Amino acid sequence: MPDVPRAGDAAAVARSVPLPIVLVGPMGSGKSRVGSRLASSVGAPFVDTDQRIVERHGPIEKIFEREGEAFFRVIEREVVAEALREEAVVSLGGGAVLDADTRDDLSDLNVVWLQVSADAVAPRLTSGNRPLIADGGLDRWIRIRDERRPLYAQVAGLTIDTSRRSVAKIVAEITEWAGARA
Protein backbone atom coordinates (compact mmCIF):
# COMPACT_ATOMS: atom_id res chain seq x y z
CA MET A 1 0.00 0.00 0.00
CA PRO A 2 1.49 3.45 -0.92
CA ASP A 3 2.59 5.78 1.86
CA VAL A 4 -0.22 8.35 1.94
CA PRO A 5 0.17 11.32 4.31
CA ARG A 6 -2.37 11.43 7.12
CA ALA A 7 -4.38 14.63 7.52
CA GLY A 8 -2.53 15.59 10.69
CA ASP A 9 0.92 14.91 9.25
CA ALA A 10 1.81 18.44 8.10
CA ALA A 11 5.41 17.55 7.24
CA ALA A 12 4.34 14.69 4.96
CA VAL A 13 1.73 16.89 3.27
CA ALA A 14 4.36 19.62 2.73
CA ARG A 15 6.75 17.11 1.14
CA SER A 16 4.04 16.04 -1.30
CA VAL A 17 3.29 19.55 -2.58
CA PRO A 18 3.95 19.93 -6.32
CA LEU A 19 6.14 22.86 -7.27
CA PRO A 20 6.19 25.54 -8.35
CA ILE A 21 3.48 27.22 -6.34
CA VAL A 22 2.93 30.72 -7.68
CA LEU A 23 1.46 33.63 -5.75
CA VAL A 24 -0.25 36.44 -7.63
CA GLY A 25 -2.17 39.47 -6.47
CA PRO A 26 -1.99 43.21 -6.07
CA MET A 27 0.84 44.98 -4.31
CA GLY A 28 0.48 44.76 -0.58
CA SER A 29 -1.52 41.52 -0.61
CA GLY A 30 1.22 39.64 1.24
CA LYS A 31 2.82 37.66 -1.58
CA SER A 32 6.38 38.08 -0.29
CA ARG A 33 5.55 37.42 3.33
CA VAL A 34 3.27 34.46 2.64
CA GLY A 35 5.63 33.13 -0.02
CA SER A 36 8.63 33.15 2.28
CA ARG A 37 6.74 31.29 5.02
CA LEU A 38 5.18 28.87 2.55
CA ALA A 39 8.59 28.04 1.08
CA SER A 40 9.95 27.30 4.56
CA SER A 41 6.91 25.18 5.32
CA VAL A 42 7.25 23.00 2.22
CA GLY A 43 11.05 22.92 2.21
CA ALA A 44 11.43 24.75 -1.09
CA PRO A 45 13.36 27.82 -2.22
CA PHE A 46 11.51 31.12 -2.34
CA VAL A 47 11.74 33.32 -5.42
CA ASP A 48 10.41 36.88 -5.27
CA THR A 49 10.55 38.08 -8.87
CA ASP A 50 10.56 41.75 -7.85
CA GLN A 51 13.55 41.09 -5.59
CA ARG A 52 15.32 39.22 -8.38
CA ILE A 53 14.77 42.21 -10.68
CA VAL A 54 16.22 44.53 -8.03
CA GLU A 55 19.28 42.28 -7.62
CA ARG A 56 19.95 42.29 -11.37
CA HIS A 57 18.83 45.76 -12.47
CA GLY A 58 18.60 47.97 -9.39
CA PRO A 59 15.60 49.48 -7.59
CA ILE A 60 12.32 49.14 -9.47
CA GLU A 61 11.43 52.79 -8.96
CA LYS A 62 14.74 53.74 -10.63
CA ILE A 63 14.01 51.43 -13.57
CA PHE A 64 10.64 53.19 -13.98
CA GLU A 65 12.35 56.62 -13.80
CA ARG A 66 15.19 55.75 -16.22
CA GLU A 67 13.53 53.44 -18.71
CA GLY A 68 9.76 53.55 -18.14
CA GLU A 69 7.17 50.91 -17.41
CA ALA A 70 7.40 49.23 -20.83
CA PHE A 71 11.09 48.43 -20.31
CA PHE A 72 10.36 47.19 -16.80
CA ARG A 73 7.70 44.81 -18.14
CA VAL A 74 10.20 43.31 -20.61
CA ILE A 75 12.73 42.48 -17.90
CA GLU A 76 9.93 41.36 -15.59
CA ARG A 77 8.75 38.88 -18.23
CA GLU A 78 12.27 37.44 -18.55
CA VAL A 79 12.66 37.02 -14.78
CA VAL A 80 9.18 35.53 -14.39
CA ALA A 81 9.68 33.00 -17.20
CA GLU A 82 12.92 31.87 -15.55
CA ALA A 83 11.37 31.64 -12.06
CA LEU A 84 8.40 29.59 -13.25
CA ARG A 85 10.79 26.85 -14.40
CA GLU A 86 12.14 26.44 -10.85
CA GLU A 87 10.89 24.02 -8.22
CA ALA A 88 10.12 26.81 -5.78
CA VAL A 89 7.47 29.00 -4.25
CA VAL A 90 7.33 32.01 -6.57
CA SER A 91 5.92 35.44 -5.80
CA LEU A 92 5.11 37.47 -8.90
CA GLY A 93 5.00 41.24 -9.00
CA GLY A 94 1.45 42.57 -9.06
CA GLY A 95 1.55 43.43 -12.76
CA ALA A 96 3.23 40.27 -14.05
CA VAL A 97 -0.17 38.89 -15.10
CA LEU A 98 -0.50 41.70 -17.63
CA ASP A 99 1.74 39.69 -19.95
CA ALA A 100 -0.18 37.16 -22.09
CA ASP A 101 2.81 34.81 -22.25
CA THR A 102 3.04 34.81 -18.46
CA ARG A 103 -0.66 33.99 -18.21
CA ASP A 104 -0.12 31.12 -20.65
CA ASP A 105 2.83 29.86 -18.58
CA LEU A 106 0.66 29.91 -15.45
CA SER A 107 -2.16 27.85 -16.99
CA ASP A 108 -0.77 24.47 -15.86
CA LEU A 109 0.72 25.57 -12.52
CA ASN A 110 -0.54 25.83 -8.95
CA VAL A 111 -1.45 29.50 -8.77
CA VAL A 112 -2.83 31.23 -5.68
CA TRP A 113 -4.42 34.66 -5.89
CA LEU A 114 -3.93 36.61 -2.68
CA GLN A 115 -6.66 39.21 -2.35
CA VAL A 116 -6.74 42.07 0.13
CA SER A 117 -9.25 44.79 0.93
CA ALA A 118 -8.42 48.46 0.48
CA ASP A 119 -8.83 49.05 4.23
CA ALA A 120 -6.38 46.28 5.12
CA VAL A 121 -3.82 47.24 2.47
CA ALA A 122 -3.67 50.97 3.27
CA PRO A 123 -1.14 50.64 6.12
CA ARG A 124 0.90 48.12 4.09
CA LEU A 125 1.38 50.59 1.24
CA THR A 126 3.34 53.03 3.36
CA SER A 127 6.41 50.78 3.33
CA GLY A 128 8.69 50.29 0.35
CA ASN A 129 8.85 52.11 -2.96
CA ARG A 130 5.86 51.45 -5.15
CA PRO A 131 6.24 53.48 -8.35
CA LEU A 132 2.81 52.75 -9.80
CA ILE A 133 1.00 54.29 -6.82
CA ALA A 134 3.51 57.01 -5.96
CA ASP A 135 1.21 59.77 -7.21
CA GLY A 136 -2.20 58.25 -6.61
CA GLY A 137 -2.00 56.50 -3.27
CA LEU A 138 -4.83 54.21 -2.24
CA ASP A 139 -7.17 55.43 -5.00
CA ARG A 140 -4.59 54.48 -7.61
CA TRP A 141 -4.07 51.10 -5.90
CA ILE A 142 -7.82 50.42 -6.06
CA ARG A 143 -7.93 51.26 -9.79
CA ILE A 144 -4.95 49.01 -10.52
CA ARG A 145 -6.39 46.16 -8.45
CA ASP A 146 -9.76 46.43 -10.17
CA GLU A 147 -8.18 46.52 -13.65
CA ARG A 148 -6.14 43.39 -12.95
CA ARG A 149 -8.82 41.44 -11.09
CA PRO A 150 -10.05 39.51 -14.19
CA LEU A 151 -6.45 38.47 -14.98
CA TYR A 152 -5.81 37.21 -11.46
CA ALA A 153 -9.09 35.28 -11.62
CA GLN A 154 -8.12 33.81 -15.00
CA VAL A 155 -4.86 32.28 -13.74
CA ALA A 156 -5.73 31.33 -10.16
CA GLY A 157 -6.67 27.88 -8.94
CA LEU A 158 -7.16 29.09 -5.37
CA THR A 159 -8.18 32.50 -4.03
CA ILE A 160 -7.45 33.60 -0.47
CA ASP A 161 -8.31 36.90 1.19
CA THR A 162 -5.33 37.97 3.30
CA SER A 163 -7.04 41.01 4.82
CA ARG A 164 -7.66 39.59 8.29
CA ARG A 165 -6.01 36.16 8.34
CA SER A 166 -2.76 35.09 9.90
CA VAL A 167 0.11 34.09 7.65
CA ALA A 168 0.18 30.68 9.36
CA LYS A 169 -3.47 29.98 8.43
CA ILE A 170 -2.91 31.16 4.85
CA VAL A 171 0.17 28.93 4.49
CA ALA A 172 -1.73 25.94 5.91
CA GLU A 173 -4.60 26.45 3.45
CA ILE A 174 -2.28 26.74 0.45
CA THR A 175 -0.28 23.69 1.53
CA GLU A 176 -3.41 21.57 1.94
CA TRP A 177 -4.82 22.73 -1.40
CA ALA A 178 -1.58 22.14 -3.32
CA GLY A 179 -1.01 18.80 -1.59
CA ALA A 180 -4.45 17.65 -2.69
CA ARG A 181 -3.47 18.47 -6.28
CA ALA A 182 -0.36 16.25 -6.18
How many structural domains are present in the chain? 1
Domain that holds residue 36: 10-173
Residue 180 lies in a domain: no
pLDDT of residue 2: 39
Q: Is the dihedral of CA 118, 65, 33, 124 positive or negative?
A: negative
pLDDT of residue 94: 94
Residue 5 lies in a domain: no
Residue 99 lies in a domain: yes
Residue 127 lies in a domain: yes
Q: In what order do the strands lie in the sheet with 158-161?
A: 46-48, 89-91, 21-24, 110-115, 158-161
pLDDT along the chain (182 residues), means of 10: 45 70 95 96 96 96 92 97 97 96 97 94 65 64 94 98 96 94 76
Q: Is the pTM of this model over 0.95?
A: no
pLDDT of residue 5: 44
CATH value at residue 150: 3.40.50.300
Three-state SS at 145 = helix
